[in-house]
């Protein structure tokens, strides 16, 4: 039996980062993976979807070339090549993880891993043991009973990334990040898209102002938006899919080539031996403490299978925190109130901290500032004037309670707010920090200035 200091079950952005950090700390490490290194995020999520969205952006630029004083007489898309490029990007990144495993002297054990008592893992009949086992098995597309996925007419995110032929029409069920990113991609490619959301607003976890702006932008792009609506059933017996959608006005039937179910995720915790070991779960999540220890000594869990936000960067941070604690370092627990969230549709959305409503509900006396990109010189020059930056501060102490952005490139801007909040920056300190001009990022400073009645360019 092979013996390790740390074995990581799963090699997604939680698992492989955990393994690398463990190796850096001098721990003999192995990672168990049943499919492809990099997990869902790298192979079927974060990375390949961004490649698809980049193709959509370039195609959109070609459509609007005349807006920039350019003449493009002929252009078209090759949907198959767009998909092939996305897969190539994912493959390249997966090969990069293979290189990192080799570089850091991490053993990669291929196969399905099952936990056993006594700090052991069985991988397709062969046993391995470790002083510490970190479970990082991630999640998959959630299926609703009334919306079963057949992989052809009713699909999940995997199939949406690898369709052989572009559909003429598509219904997207759910308007979280996965749903709206695919809705944007297919709409930009020329598919007729309808998005159905059960709650009153698209991207319902975002600040209300952001949700409203996002819906306006989607409608302007030609996407049909149905909020306060739900798909009750689908009929896949004909050439198309007939979806029965329940709205406030009653039921209506919508036809499309394909229905994409984007109603969230479900954790991969079945069949991996949690019950055999006695590890406690609740509502599909593995229960852990601040440093990701389960109730059974020597077993840890990170990422989507734990109660925190199901985000790649959270899984990575949890894995690093977990193994640094194992190695005896003085580790600070993660502040889950300061986790950035990003959505990569057009316009992009990025946010951190409290929404305006959450701040009010928490009893804060607040200052709110907002700066539209329509007043930004850089956004005007780039032709990307949709959106804004919104900031929320505690009026008493100047604490930066929340930051919400919608517009071009905002996913690359949100880190300023995350870092500022981590360092307990006040509104006045942000206001007195010189931002370069012209940039999109100076909209953060302008929004803060608006909160403190000092805005110059609005």
* End-to-end Cα distance, the chain: 68
How many other C-beta atoms lie within 10 A of the C-beta of residue 18?
32
pLDDT of residue 129 exceeding 90, the answer is yes
CA nearest neighbour of 356 among 393, 387, 389: 393
State residue 347's pLDDT score: 96
Pairing of β 258-261 and β 169-173: parallel
**Selected catalytic residue, list 64, 428, 437, 457:** 437
Give backbone dihedrals phi and psi of 55, rounded to 5 degrees, phi first: -60, -40
Residue 45: band (very low, low, confident or very high) from pLDDT cuts 50, 70, 90 = confident
Query: Which residue bears the tokens 């999540």?
Result: 285
Compute the distance between CA of residue 427 and CA of residue 420 in angstroms, rounded to an integer.
Answer: 10
User: Where do the domains of the chain lie?
Assistant: 2-141+266-336, 154-263, 347-451
CATH topology of 2-141+266-336 equal to that of 154-263? yes
DSSP string, 141-186: E--BTTB---SSSEE-HHHHHS-SS--SEEEEE--SHHHHHHHHHH
The radius of gyration of the chain's CA atoms, rounded to the nearest angstrom, is 23
Q: Is 175 annotated as a binding residue?
A: yes
Residue 42: band (very low, low, confident or very high) from pLDDT cuts 50, 70, 90 = confident
State residue 2's pLDDT score: 83
State residue 1's pLDDT score: 64
CA nearest neighbour of 218 among 165, 179, 264: 179
Compute the distance between CA of residue 301 and CA of residue 307 in angstroms, rounded to an integer.
Answer: 10
Q: Is 174 annotated as a binding residue?
A: yes
Q: Is 416 annotated as a binding residue?
A: no
Residue 445: band (very low, low, confident or very high) from pLDDT cuts 50, 70, 90 = very high
Determine if the peptide bond prior to 68 is cis (ω within 30°): no
The domain covering 347-451 belongs, at the CATH homologous superfamily level, to FAD/NAD-linked reductase, C-terminal dimerisation domain (3.30.390.30)
pLDDT of residue 396 exceeding 80, the answer is yes
For the domain spanning 154-263, the CATH number is 3.50.50.60
Residue 225: band (very low, low, confident or very high) from pLDDT cuts 50, 70, 90 = very high
Question: pLDDT for 7-39, tens place per residue?
Answer: 999 999 999 999 999 999 999 999 999 988 988
Pairing of β 285-286 and β 281-282: antiparallel
Q: Is 181 annotated as a binding residue?
A: yes
Neighbouring-strand partners of residue 368: 392
Q: What percent of the chain is predicted at pLDDT more than 70?
A: 100
| Centroid of chain to Cα 170 | 22
Question: pLDDT for 61-110, tens place per residue?
Answer: 999 999 999 999 999 999 999 999 999 999 999 999 999 999 999 999 99
Q: Is 207 annotated as a binding residue?
A: no
State residue 114's pLDDT score: 96
State residue 201's pLDDT score: 96
Please state the rounded mean pLDDT for residues 147-174: 94
Take residue 263 and report the two structure tokens written for it. Answer: 């109603």
232 φψ region: left (φ > 0), alpha (ψ -120 to 50), beta (else): alpha
Orientation angle between helical segments 46-63 and 177-189, nearest 10 degrees = 40
pLDDT of residue 366 exceeding 90, the answer is yes
Question: pLDDT for 201-213, tens place per residue?
Answer: 999 999 999 999 9
Q: Is 180 annotated as a binding residue?
A: yes
Question: pLDDT for 301-350, tens place per residue?
Answer: 999 999 999 999 999 999 999 999 999 999 999 999 999 999 999 999 99
Catalytic residue check, 428: no
Q: Is 288 helix (H, G, I), strand (E, B) or coil?
A: coil
What does the angle CA 257 – CA 223 – CA 378 come to, to the nearest 5 degrees? 135
Q: Is 143 annotated as a binding residue?
A: no
State residue 230's pLDDT score: 94
Fold of 2-141+266-336: FAD/NAD(P)-binding domain (3.50.50)
**pTM (two decimals):** 0.94
Q: Is 56 annotated as a binding residue?
A: no
């Amino acid at each position: 039996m092979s013996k390790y200091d740390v074995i990581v079950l799963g090699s997604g952005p939680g698992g492989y980062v955990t393994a690398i950090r463990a190796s850096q700390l001098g721990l003999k490490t192995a990672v168990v993976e049943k499919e492809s290194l990099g997990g869902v995020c790298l192979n079927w999520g974060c990375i390949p979807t961004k490649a698809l969205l980049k193709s959509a952006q370039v195609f959109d630029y070609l459509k609007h070339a005349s807006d920039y004083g350019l003449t493009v007489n002929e252009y078209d898309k090759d949907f198959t090549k767009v998909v092939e490029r996305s897969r190539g990007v994912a493959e390249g990144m997966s090969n990069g993880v293979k290189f990192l495993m080799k570089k850091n002297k991490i053993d990669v054990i291929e196969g399905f891993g099952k936990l056993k008592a006594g700090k052991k893992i069985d991988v397709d009949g062969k046993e391995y043991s470790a002083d510490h086992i970190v479970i990082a098995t991630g999640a998959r597309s959630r299926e609703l009973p009334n919306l079963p996925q057949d992989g052809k007419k009713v699909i999940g995110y995997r199939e949406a990334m690898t369709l052989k032929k572009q559909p003429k029409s598509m219904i997207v069920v759910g308007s979280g990040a996965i749903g709206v990113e695919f809705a944007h991609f297919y709409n930009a490619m020329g598919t007729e898209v309808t998005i159905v959301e059960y709650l009153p607003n698209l991207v319902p976890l975002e600040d209300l102002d952001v949700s409203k702006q996002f819906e306006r932008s989607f409608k302007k792009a030609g996407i049909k938006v149905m909020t306060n609506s739900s798909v009750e059933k689908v009929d896949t017996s004909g050439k198309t899919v007939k979806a029965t959608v329940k709205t406030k006005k009653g039921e209506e039937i919508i036809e499309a080539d394909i229905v994409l179910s984007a109603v969230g995720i479900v954790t991969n915790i079945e069949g991996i031996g949690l019950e055999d070991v006695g590890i406690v779960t609740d509502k599909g999540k593995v229960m852990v403490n601040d440093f990701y220890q389960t109730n059974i000594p020597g077993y840890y869990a990170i990422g989507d299978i734990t109660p925190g936000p199901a985000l790649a960067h959270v899984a990575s941070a949890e894995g690093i925190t977990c193994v640094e604690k194992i190695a005896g370092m003085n580790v600070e627990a993660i502040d889950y109130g300061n986790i950035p969230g990003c959505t990569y549709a057009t316009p992009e959305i990025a946010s951190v901290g409290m929404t305006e409503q959450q701040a009010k509900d928490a009893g804060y006396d607040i200052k709110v500032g907002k700066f539209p990109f329509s007043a930004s010189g850089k956004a005007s020059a780039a032709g990307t004037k949709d959106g804004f930056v919104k900031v929320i501060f505690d009026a008493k102490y100047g604490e930066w309670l929340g930051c919400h952005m919608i517009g071009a490139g905002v996913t690359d801007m949100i880190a300023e707010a995350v870092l500022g909040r981590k360092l307990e920056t006040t509104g006045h300190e942000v206001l007195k920090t010189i931002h370069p001009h012209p940039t999109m990022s100076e909209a953060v400073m302008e929004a803060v200035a608006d909160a403190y009645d000092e805005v110059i360019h609005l």
